[in-house]
């Protein structure tokens, strides 16, 4: 027993003397004190063994001692760990952005004054096994050259000019420190290159061996993915459950879940994550307003057989153009930071106000007119909201009910009864609310879509009753 304690203490002493321990989101990490790049490893029995061997302490790396040392480190984690933010691929330090290229341990530093390639970085990055290298960008560009580079994206994605601009608004929001990320939805018929377009788009800034994944079945699996990825790109989605819609919305604006703490039976921990999200599918059936308020829709068109290219040729083209396009993106990020104090009078501000203001700042780097770009985003969101009223039976009924009225007020039970009497065929539809409580919840969720039709909703309390007030105004 005494020898066991001595070997554990010896391993602990050498590890804590030569490695720095970090705690983030309930997980323990370590990096070697003499490593300039501060490469992080999860604290596991395997990483402990590797660390001891690298210190020429093989005699301490027995299976039994590794297991006991691992347990001991977990027990004293609060004493040895520094709590610090850990980033994946893109990190933020005050007003400076760092990009982990995985290219000869080089980091790209971007701020309002310059772009530089560094060998050391003040922020911590965690690397997963499927992450691939980014090219080292050309630093000296002009708006004319940046525009030329960025337009070359169309050579391997099936986007028209407007769709390319919308996808850039989505992609560039990855460099936004605060605010809600937009969610990109790529819809199109079979054979319209939805999958390859989304794959190439994500690989421009975060190349991985498997850039696209299937949507997880539950929120815990979703957050496991989110902890390891910068971008969550889901392939071939037709429908998303209401609960998953809620979780995706949370992830787009820094979400969290509470779960059991690792190695504990009675302690809980909060897992926080934020990811840029995208998915593609045929005839996407997404009607929840909360996710559509954050969404950008890009529609791909069928590809003529004479224009169709092989995957290998597209891959060669992507590899040839990747450095130029990534250089243009880095240039635009620097341009946006440089313009951070500029004030823009935006004609239309939607739900994605932080994304839109950021877009105004980087848009001139590609010789894009900021107001025209935001107008495209605004029109796109209006299109999404109008599609809800067309496809949602309750919203459709409300719009027809208010067609010849300036206002209406009453309880949600009264409203539901009137609508079911006026539109008897609608109440048998799957999306029709079955109870007044569900009807009240649906009216709140449909707020943005109703406003597209000039119908404004509010709730007031009158004595002991809560009333629904619907008012017709100019949209």
pLDDT tens per residue across span 107-144: 999 999 999 999 989 999 999 889 999 999 998 899 99
Residue 348, CB half-sphere, CA atoms under 13 Å: how many? 13
Quote the pLDDT of residue 24: 87
In angstroms, the CA 40 to CA 128 distance is 10
Q: Which two tokens stand for residue 212?
A: 């696209």
- pLDDT > 90: percent of the chain: 52
Question: What angle do helix axes 63-75 and 2-18 make, rounded to 10 degrees?
Answer: 70
Average pLDDT over residues 240-259: 82
Considering 338-352, 360-374, 449-463, the range whose residues carry the highest mean pLDDT is 360-374
Residue 260, pLDDT score:
59
- pLDDT at residue 206 greater than cutoff 90: yes
Among the residue ranges 115-129, 155-169, 192-206, 347-361, the one predicted with the least confidence is 347-361
Q: Which two tokens stand for residue 350?
A: 């939607």
User: What pLDDT score was predicted for residue 442?
Assistant: 83
| pLDDT, mean of residues 341-370 | 85
**pLDDT exceeds 50 at position 2:** no
Look at residue 340 and tell me whether its pLDDT is greater than 70.
yes
CA torsion 380-386-391-393 (nearest 10°) is: 150
C-alpha distance from residue 213 to each of 106, 226, 234, 251, 318 (Å): 28, 12, 5, 16, 20
Confidence at 102, pLDDT banded by 50, 70, 90? very high
Please give the mean pLDDT across all residues of the chain.
88
Q: Is 10 left (phi over 0), alpha (psi -120 to 50) or beta?
A: alpha
What is d(CA 440, CA 339) in angstroms, rounded to the nearest whole number?
44
Distance CA 322, CA 198 (A): 15
As a whole-number percent, the residues of the chain with pLDDT over 70 amount to 93
Which residue in 244, 253, 248, 246 sits closest to 232, CA to CA? 248
| Overall average pLDDT of the 206-223 stretch | 91
Contacts of 21 by beta carbon, 8 Å cutoff, 6+ apart: 28, 29, 30, 43, 73, 77, 80, 81, 82
- Residues β-bridged to residue 272: 256
Q: Check residue 219 and give its pLDDT.
A: 85
Residues 251-271, mean pLDDT to the nearest whole number: 66
Question: What is the model's pLDDT at position 5?
Answer: 61
Instruction: List the single range of 239-243, 372-376, 469-473 with lowest mean pLDDT.
Output: 239-243
pLDDT score of 201 more than 90: yes
Residues 291-327: tens digit of each pLDDT: 888 899 999 988 887 788 888 999 999 999 999 999 9
Across the range 363-369, mean pLDDT stands at 96
Confidence of residue 38 (pLDDT cuts 50, 70, 90): confident
* pLDDT, tens digit, 9 for 90 and up, residues 370-425: 999 999 998 898 888 777 666 778 888 888 888 888 999 889 999 989 998 888 88
Smallest CA-to-CA distance from 446 within 468, 429, 426 is with 468
pLDDT for 368 beyond 80 = yes
pLDDT of residue 269: 64
Predicted local confidence at residue 390, as pLDDT: 67
Are 436 and 412 spatial neighbours (Cβ–Cβ below 8 Å)? Answer: yes
Whether 159 has a pLDDT exceeding 90, the answer reads yes
β-strand pairing of 183-187 with 276-281:
parallel
Close Cβ partners of 273 (under 8 Å, ≥ 6 residues apart): 25, 223, 226, 227, 251, 254, 255, 256
447/191 Cα distance (integer angstroms):
35
CA atoms within 13 A on the CB side of 338: 14
């Amino acid at each position: 027993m005494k020898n066991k304690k001595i070997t554990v203490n010896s391993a602990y002493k050498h590890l804590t003397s030569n490695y720095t321990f970090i705690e983030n989101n309930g997980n323990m990490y370590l990096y070697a004190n003499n490593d300039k790049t501060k490469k992080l490893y999860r604290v596991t029995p395997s990483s402990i063994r590797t660390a001891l061997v690298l210190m020429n302490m093989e005699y301490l790396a027995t299976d039994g001692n590794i297991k006991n040392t691992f347990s001991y480190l977990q027990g004293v984690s609060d004493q040895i760990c520094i709590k610090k933010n850990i980033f994946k691929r893109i990190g933020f330090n005050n007003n400076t952005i760092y990009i982990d290229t995985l290219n000869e341990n080089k980091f790209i530093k971007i701020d309002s004054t310059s772009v530089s390639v560094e060998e050391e970085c003040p922020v911590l990055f965690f690397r997963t096994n499927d992450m691939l290298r980014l090219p080292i960008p050309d630093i000296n560009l002009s708006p004319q050259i940046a525009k030329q580079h960025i337009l070359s994206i169309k050579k391997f994605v099936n986007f028209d000019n407007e769709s390319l601009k919308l996808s850039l608004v989505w992609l560039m929001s990855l460099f936004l420190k605060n605010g809600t990320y937009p969610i990109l939805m790529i819809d199109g018929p079979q054979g319209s290159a939805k999958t390859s377009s989304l794959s190439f788009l994500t690989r421009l800034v975060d190349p991985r061996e498997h850039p696209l994944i299937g949507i997880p079945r539950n929120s815990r699996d979703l957050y496991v993915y989110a902890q390891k990825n910068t971008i969550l790109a889901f392939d071939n989605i037709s429908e998303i459950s209401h609960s998953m819609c809620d979780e995706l919305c949370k992830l787009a604006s820094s979400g969290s879940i509470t779960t059991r703490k690792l190695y504990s039976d009675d302690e809980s921990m909060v897992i926080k994550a934020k990811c840029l999200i995208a998915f593609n599918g045929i005839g996407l059936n997404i009607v929840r307003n909360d996710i559509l308020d954050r969404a950008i829709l890009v529609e791909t068109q069928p590809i003529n057989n004479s224009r169709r290219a092989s995957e290998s040729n597209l891959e060669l083209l992507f590899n040839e153009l990747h450095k130029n396009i990534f250089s243009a993106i880095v240039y635009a990020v620097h341009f946006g930071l440089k313009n951070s104090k500029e004030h823009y009078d935006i004609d239309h501000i939607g739900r994605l106000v932080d994304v839109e203001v950021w877009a105004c700042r980087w848009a001139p780097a590609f010789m894009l007119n900021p107001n025209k770009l935001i107008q495209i985003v605004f029109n796109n969101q209006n299109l999404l909201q109008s599609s809800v009223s067309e496809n949602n039976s309750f919203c459709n009924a409300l719009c027809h009910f208010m067609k010849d009225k300036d206002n209406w007020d009453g309880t949600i039970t009264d409203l539901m009864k009137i609508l079911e009497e006026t539109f008897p065929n609608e109440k048998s539809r799957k999306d029709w609310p079955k109870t007044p409580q569900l009807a009240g919840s649906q009216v709140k969720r449909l707020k943005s879509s109703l406003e597209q039709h000039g119908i404004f909703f509010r709730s007031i309390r009158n004595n002991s009753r809560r009333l629904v007030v619907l008012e017709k105004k100019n949209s």
